[in-house]
Chains A and B, each alone.
Chain A
Amino acid sequence: MTVVDRPATTPASSGGSSGPRLRGNLRQYGMIAALVVIVVLFEILTDGILLKPLNVTNLIMQNGYVLVLAIGMMLVIINREIDLSVGSVAAFVGAVTGVAIVNWGLPWPLVVVGALVTGGLIGAFQGFWIAYARIPAFIVTLGGMLLFRGLSMVVLQGQSIAPFPSGFRQLGSGFVPEIGAGDLHLVTMLLGLAGAAVIVWNDWRSRARRREYGLSVPAMQWFVLKAVAIVAVIGAFAWVLAVYQGLPIVGLVVIVLTAAYSFVTTSTVVGRHIYAVGGNERAAALSGIATKKTKFWVFVNMGVLAALAGLMFAARLNAATPKAGTNFELDAIAAAFIGGASASGGVGSVVGAIVGGLVMGVMNNGMSLLGLGVDWQQAIKGGVLMLAVAFDVYNKNKSK
């Protein structure tokens, strides 16, 4: 009796629980729907330039580093904190990388590892003040923002350093290697199909597991419909990239990180702790969760991802510059909030951060294609951010 009995659930009773769940999913689908609307809108306004293979490839390369930051920022915001330093940290890591590779001639793979470690240490430094010394993250990372911006200028002595070796540049502007020499990038297509297969297979396995525990499973038609949709969307995406030069390395990095962090946040103990600490820190502590440690590691993680973003940016630019990463923190924060994060913590998803980042990216790209000036672009993006959050808050109040 102390152990949980296998529940005597009837399909009807657990079917009842799918109601609110579906509603939660609908909100996520709503976000994706908004992205689709924006894509279609700009596709029409730009006479079909937006989704041309070349432009899709550009879109990925232009936004990769912001998406990487958005993933880390989402975790920080779920934890009910904020990190204003990521742009400066990215610049600083890029600067150090430039000096190490170009001036000192160190082998680039070694420098990449060193750069990620540096990012982690910076995150640990800030995380210590935030988690253990209890100084508000806004203050600590505002300090970090100024500190590391200043240090990047010191390291670079106000100059840009270039060029990087071609191996390193792959990280920003390379493509996954190709086998054979057809018009279609074969490896990209194979990766796409493999990815779709893994998702469908996971879905299938999850059905079996649900049955095992006596839970209701969605109808078979649903499953087939979903599987077909997944294969079609991923296949189309892979095809668009394959007719050009294939999947950019940046894209591969973002996809792998998204999958990995989605898994961590939804299905691991650590992920659950991050949500719990952000949702109600005191309740989490009284449930035996090491709240300070959780906060600390979220900032270490943010530091590593900021370093990765800095590397990707330097590689794409083929230069380390002291101005790199300016306003990246704001893009990342905006992406997280557009993607459904809540300022009161405990709410949000990694996929949401990516969708939010893509909304911003597609708007940037689309408005540039339309020849809209940077001034108007900024103003419109600001409006969209406010609108997205207002919509979310409105929905939340309505559901109460």
Chain B
Amino acid sequence: MPDHILRMRGITKEFPGVRALDDVNFDVERGTVHALVGENGAGKSTLMKVLSGVYPHGSYEGEILLDSRPCAFRGLRQSEAAGIVIIHQELALIPGMSIAENVFLGNERARRGVIDWHATSDETVRLLEKVGLREDPDTPVNALGVGRQQLVEIAKALAKDVKLLILDEPTAALNETDSENLLRLLRDLRDHGITSILISHKLNEVMAVADAITILRDGRTIETLEVADGVDEDRVIRGMVGRDLDHRYPPRTPEIGDVLFEIEGWNVFHPTVPDRQVVRDASLTVRRGEIVGIAGLMGAGRTELAMSVFGRSYGARISGTLRKDGRELHLATVGDAIAAGLAYVTEDRKELGLLLEEDIRRNVTLANLHRVSRRSVIDLHREVADAEGFLHRLRIKAPGVFTKTGNLSGGNQQKVVLSKWMYTNPDVLILDEPTRGIDVGAKYEIYTIVQRLAAEGKGVLLISSELPELLGMCDRIYVMSQGRITGELGRREATQEAVMRLMTNTPAVAR
């Protein structure tokens, strides 16, 4: 009989008007990595909040057995005391504090309120060793990259004598190398008896590391698959969406026209570190009706290139030439860029894309209020009508245009951001990681929208860290590495291996 560290039986959790979880069963075997997958809104986070006591005992139905003993957590502290630790997508580290201080934050090695720095330091070194991080425990956390910060989070969990580690989208912000390290660490920890629950949208990672996969859909448990039984990604996707996804990218026959937009000899320096050049002599072209990809590892300069082109919203000492339809453009501000027919969908929806406190309507019209106003007075009714048009056309799932964007799921938020930029009627769209953190179904819809825009004769520049996405969507791919464009691949030449080779290619410094 299998040895279950955790059994959640018949969990039902209701919010006003919504049943977020409906009789969910979730069993985790000791000493395994158990993946929890499902579309956004399937109930994964809610289930984990029930487990960790964020939704206290009594606010849900059903029972939780940890080591066969029933639990009634009323808060995070109680669940942590029982050995359950959650690491969220947004890391809970204090940037200015040292690694050691962060590792023991809220769990300080102290005697009568006075911190024992020796014990703190010694134990931190020991914990860092466990997670494979060679850093001085006194290093401030903000001096580390995201990948290493993630490891500090795990060290912090280990400091609490964790038995069951829950990771919510741990690799969303990591590059390939850091992701691999993290996944290896999960397997390591498993071999040392720590059970993990992994929530992830990246199915290739799930397949690589998980022993079992539980699929949630619409607040119900669909099935639990044993990876050892020979499950493949398509099988999992079928479970997640409840239908066969033969094609993850919609079919398309590109109709490519003349050169629409050109960047030539583009140079950008870091805004605060004067000598650091983040983009070096980059040149590229986009034709009408074309979807052009930009591949690259984190820090390759892709976002920096896009933002500096978009009305100099990033960087210093920017030089180079921009042309649209052969005419040179001078874009000193974002306003100029929008007026010239450019749109930039930011990488970070919540921080840079949306007004989360405002409703859908006000977000949609924000970048082009002049379209609904006369002499600076907004026609509020026309605004509602226009926003509703997008709600229907892009199939944004929301009660109405007066819904706050902060209350929408990631995929729907992204559709609102796309609406905002479609509303400016651009000729050139720069999309920076448009499907990050979005579920499979919504991704497909976003791809469809992007292809429709290209079919209208717009030029699309697609920045993405997911190679399959670039290969599936783009007519041409530029690859960046360390601020330079290291190669250009047509649809036929572009393979994962070819792109990866150019991405990791260290360009010669001088020409």
The residues of A with any CB-CB pair to B shorter than 8 Å are 1-9, 13-14, 16-21, 24, 206, 209-210, 212-215, 266-270, 272, 275-276, 279-280, 282-290, 342, 344, 346-347, 400
Say which one of B100-108, B153-161, B199-207, B376-384 lies at the interface with A: B376-384
Let me know if B389 and A4 touch, CB within 8 A.
yes
Q: Which of A209, A269, A347 contacts B357 (CB 8 A)?
A: A347
Decide if A279 touches B355 in the complex (CB within 8 Å).
Answer: yes
Question: CB distance B370 to A286 under 8 Å?
Answer: no
Q: Which residues of A contact B390 (CB under 8 A)?
A: 4
Cross-chain contact A213 with B400 (CB below 8 angstroms): no
- Given A16-B399, A268-B376, A288-B338: 13 more A-B contacts, CB < 8 Å: A2-B422, A5-B389, A7-B392, A17-B403, A18-B400, A19-B399, A20-B359, A269-B378, A272-B378, A276-B366, A287-B420, A288-B333, A346-B355
In contact, A213 and B355 (Cβ under 8 angstroms): no
> Are B392 and A9 in contact (CB-based, < 8 A)?
yes
CA distance A213 to B384 in the complex (A): 9
B388 at the A interface (CB under 8 A): yes
Contact between B377 and A267, CB atoms less than 8 A apart: yes
**Could you pull out 10 A-B pairs where Cβ atoms are within 8 angstroms?**
A5-B389, A7-B386, A9-B385, A9-B388, A24-B402, A210-B381, A268-B376, A269-B370, A286-B313, A288-B333
Q: Is the CB of B373 within 8 A of A268?
A: yes
Q: Given A267-B378, A279-B356, A288-B338, do A215 and B384 touch, yes or no (CB 8 Å)?
A: yes
For residue B300, CB closer than 8 A to chain A, the reply is no
**Is the Cβ of B402 less than 8 Å from the Cβ of A283?**
no
Give the A-B contact count at a CB cut-off of 8 A: 146
Stretch in B139-147, B224-232, B345-353 with 4+ CB within 8 Å of A: B345-353
Query: Are A287 and B334 also in contact (CB < 8 A) when A2-B456, A20-B402, A269-B370 are?
Result: yes
A-contacting residues of B (Cβ < 8 Å)?
Answer: 310-311, 313, 333-335, 337-338, 344, 346, 351-359, 362, 366-367, 369-370, 373, 376-382, 384-386, 388-393, 399-404, 407, 420, 422-423, 425, 452, 456
Q: Which residues of B contact A276 (CB under 8 A)?
A: 355, 358, 362, 366
Known contacts being A17-B402, A288-B338, is A279 close to B358, with CB within 8 Å? Answer: yes
Residue of A nearest to B401 (CB): A17
Q: A347's closest neighbor in chain B, by CB? A: B357
Tell whether A17 pairs with B338 under 8 Å between CB atoms, given A4-B390, A286-B352, A346-B355: no
Residues of B within 8 Å of A280, CB to CB, are 351-352, 354-356
Point out the residue from B354, B369, B423 that lies within 8 Å of A4, measured CB to CB. B423
Look across to chain A and name the residue whose beta carbon is closest to the beta carbon of B368. Answer: A288
B359 partner residues in chain A, CB cutoff 8 A: 20
Distance from B390 Cβ to chain A, minimum over Cβ atoms (Å): 7
Q: Whole-angstrom distance from the CB of B309 to the nearest CB of chain A?
A: 13
CA–CA, A346 to B456, complex, Å?
36
Given A20-B400, A282-B351, A287-B334, are A14 and B456 also a contact pair (CB < 8 Å)?
no
Choice from A8, A287, A290 contacting B367 with Cβ under 8 Å: A287
User: How many Å from the CB of A101 to the closest CB on chain B?
Assistant: 36
A283/B351 contact (C-beta < 8 A), A346-B358, A347-B357 known: yes
B334 touches A288 (CB 8 A): yes
Nearest residue, chain B, Cβ from A396 = B357
Closest to B307 in A: A286
C-alpha gap A266/B367 in the complex (Å) = 17
Taking a contact as CB atoms under 8 Å apart, the answer to whether B346 and A215 are in contact is: no
- Would B355 and A283 count as touching, CB distance under 8 A? yes
**CB atoms of A214 and B355 under 8 A apart:** no
A338 to chain B, nearest CB (A): 19
* Closest beta carbon of chain A to B254's beta carbon, Å: 17
Q: Which residues of B contact A212 (CB under 8 A)?
A: 381
In the bound assembly, the distance between CA atoms of A276 and B420 in angstroms comes to: 14
Q: How far is the CA of A272 from the CA of B369 in the complex (A)?
A: 9
How many angstroms between the C-alpha atoms of A74 and B72 in the bound complex?
45
Chain A residue numbers with a CB within 8 Å of B310 are: 286
- Alpha-carbon distance A342/B369, docked complex (angstroms): 24
Which residues in A have their C-beta under 8 angstroms from that of B352? Answer: 280, 282-283, 286
List residues of chain A with CB within 8 A of the CB of B333: 288, 290
Check if A283 sits within 8 Å of B378, measured CB to CB.
no
CA–CA, A77 and B335, complex, Å: 25
A-chain residues with CB within 8 Å of residue B425 when the two chains form the complex? 2-3
Closest to A213 in B: B385
Q: Which chain B positions have C-beta within 8 A of A215?
A: 381, 384-385, 388
In the assembled complex, the Cα of A128 lies from the Cα of B461 at a distance in Å of 38
Chain B residues with Cβ below 8 Å from A289 are 334-335, 366
**Cβ-defined contact, B366 with A287, below 8 A:** yes
Q: Are B344 and A286 in contact (CB under 8 A)?
A: yes
- Output the nearest chain A residue to B422 by Cβ-Cβ distance: A2
Check B388 against A283 for contact (C-beta < 8 Å). no
Is B392 touching A8 in the complex (CB atoms < 8 A)?
yes
In the complex the two chains form, what is the Cα distance from A276 to B362 in whole Å? 9
What is the bound-complex CA distance between A289 and B456, given in angstroms? Answer: 27
B207 to nearest A CB, angstroms?
34
A residues in contact with B335, CB < 8 Å: 288-290
Residue of B nearest to A263 (CB): B377
Expressed in whole angstroms, the Cα–Cα distance for A267 and B388 within the complex equals: 18
